[in-house]
Structure 1
């Protein structure tokens, strides 16, 4: 399985406005807080926190709550960007497959668009199980690539789909692996299919901050970008069918 060099894309990572704009207040974290009002302090880990987009949003919204925030990432360059956004977080440079935390430390672990990057996913899940308190929540937010084969990126850069197949587990595998570890699991997928304008997605391709685009050959990447530009030259209003499947996995340690 190929891996993305996040040091190389850290500076341009937040230029993807979809990535920035889609971060919302975590309703599941809010539900956990409301359910555990008597708890002295809630410890939240943003696992593979990247540039701190999630932490920036949540620390602002939940600033009145008794929270202790943590961020862990394997890329020092990404952590540097996160520290520039939010300074009242305990950041750690480390690996999800071997976390430098004591057992039962966290009440809530958020894991956004990162699980597919882990080389040893079983070991990463074992670590999440270890550092999570009993009754704690592990929340995975990712795309469900097996349910979105018409994604625009797969249309213009076909081998990105084959790279993603090597990296992403199917939802039933995720469900079974967590269940076997004693979690109570619920998976929901928000699916959408629509016509989109190529002019609206060209900048995402040109920025080349999407991990799958960093894994394909430079020649294929350039061919895909040129194909997009060619389509727009022939028809400025060119549209293609695009589908997207947003997956939310909520697992409670019982």
Structure 2
């Protein structure tokens, strides 16, 4: 399994505006707080990247006594996060060996990152260890097994096969979590639609989508030229695109 080198894309990561626009108020964190009244809460953004989630949530939950933490393996991504957030403990570490005491975290957010972990089993063991009993692990990711017609796979077929090596399907994730003692609620949302190719060319030229950094340069250039050709011959060119997201809430019992 190949690994995305985020040190190479940290500077351009936030140029993909979708990443910032996609993050909204965390209602699951709000519900946890409402159902578990206590003096202070420890919230960890796992694989926090450039701090997009932390930046928004610290503003949304301003006034509550929350100890915010962010962990990421890339020091370059953390440097970008430090530009965004204050009063947040940012730590460079591997998710499979987290520097936290056992049963100290109330809520873990983990978005668009789980597929990057080389040892996913070890990562889940650590997540279970650091969570308090009753604590929540919130896993959010694309569900690639349910979206074979994603636009990226349409133009870059080798990207799909790279992702098959990286992503666990929903059954594996559910079983791995429940076998460790989590109570799991997993949902897949899906949509199929026509999209305009021109709306996605900037993402490809930026080459900040992780799987596009893993395919061979020849495959990348070939797919990029196909997109450019389609746009040149028909600026309103559309293709059928499907997209699936996994929302998984796992409670430590």
Smaller-chain TM-score bracket:
over 0.9
Partner-residue secondary structure (3-state), 1:55: helix
Alpha-carbon distance, 1:178 to partner: 0.4
Aligned residue for 1:247? 246
Is the counterpart of residue 215 in structure 1 residue 217 in structure 2?
Answer: no
Aligned counterparts of 2:34 and 2:99: Cα–Cα separation in 1: 29
Aligned residue for 1:104? 103
Aligned residue for 1:31? 31
Aligned residue for 1:152? 151
Aligned counterparts of 2:30 and 2:45: Cα–Cα separation in 1: 15
| Cα deviations by residue, 1:15-39 (Å, 9 ceiling, x for unpaired) | 00111110011110000011112x0
Alpha-carbon distance, 1:76 to partner: 0.1
Aligned counterparts of 1:24 and 1:188: Cα–Cα separation in 2: 18
Aligned residue for 1:162? 161
Aligned counterparts of 2:71 and 2:17: Cα–Cα separation in 1: 23
Aligned residue for 1:205? 204
| Cα deviations by residue, 1:89-133 (Å, 9 ceiling, x for unpaired) | 001000001111110110000001000000000000000000000
Aligned counterparts of 2:235 and 2:44: Cα–Cα separation in 1: 44
TM-score normalised per structure 2 = 0.99
Aligned-CA RMSD value? 0.5
Partner-residue secondary structure (3-state), 2:97: coil
Return 5+ residue gaps in structure 2 as ranges.
none
Aligned counterparts of 2:232 and 2:71: Cα–Cα separation in 1: 44
Aligned counterparts of 2:234 and 2:78: Cα–Cα separation in 1: 41
Return 5+ residue gaps in structure 1 as ranges.
none
Is the counterpart of residue 118 in structure 1 residue 125 in structure 2?
Answer: no
Aligned residue for 2:46? 47
Aligned residue for 1:7? 7
Aligned residue for 1:183? 182
Aligned counterparts of 1:77 and 1:49: Cα–Cα separation in 2: 12
TM-score normalised per structure 1 = 0.99
Aligned residue for 1:16? 16
Aligned residue for 1:237? 236
Alpha-carbon distance, 1:217 to partner: 0.8
Partner-residue secondary structure (3-state), 1:65: coil
